[in-house]
Structure 1
């Protein structure tokens, strides 16, 4: 049994919750205001992809003997997440010319869904 398995499973469930919440938001926005659908997709992706990479990078190692590697992976994951998020926002606003409110709104909804999922899943287990 790998010590990181529990964290990996929790991270996967959180990412699934983000994905489902984002899909529901995209469908709602598409029905209400189709012009902002692309912006909402970009905003959701801007959180989900970097956070998924961070979760993967963080939970590669576990255990007391690997504490230095675990801390190093966490720090590297945070840096990569920040860079990826910045790149996605730069692309959204420079190349795709999207409206800021739907992009940031979808980003915040994806982030909050992950937080609520973690609270709910940690109470459940």
Structure 2
């Protein structure tokens, strides 16, 4: 499965966001995802399986629990692919920051309405 096919699903993206904070048990991930998306435990398990099989996450056994963690390799590959496009939005973001700063100067500082 291509990386963007994996990341294209909002449930899998949310699972990766949860794992970005550190390791989590399958029960913790399932509870959070069920609360947010209203899907079954079985559906969450399928998403975790896709993340494992595509290399985005690893799982280790800790007694009766399965502990999940992000595997950085695929995310680094996605970042490298996106890097080719950063040159397109980098200058635009810098221009936006310049305009925001100019607007603040014209208003006389942050939070003050124009005269």
Identify the structure with the greater strand proportion: 2
* Structure whose alpha-carbon radius of gyration is higher: 2
Give the alignment's TM-score, normalised by structure 2.
0.33
Identify the structure with the greater helix proportion: 1
* Larger relative contact order (Cα-Cα within 8 Å, sequence gap ≥ 6): 1
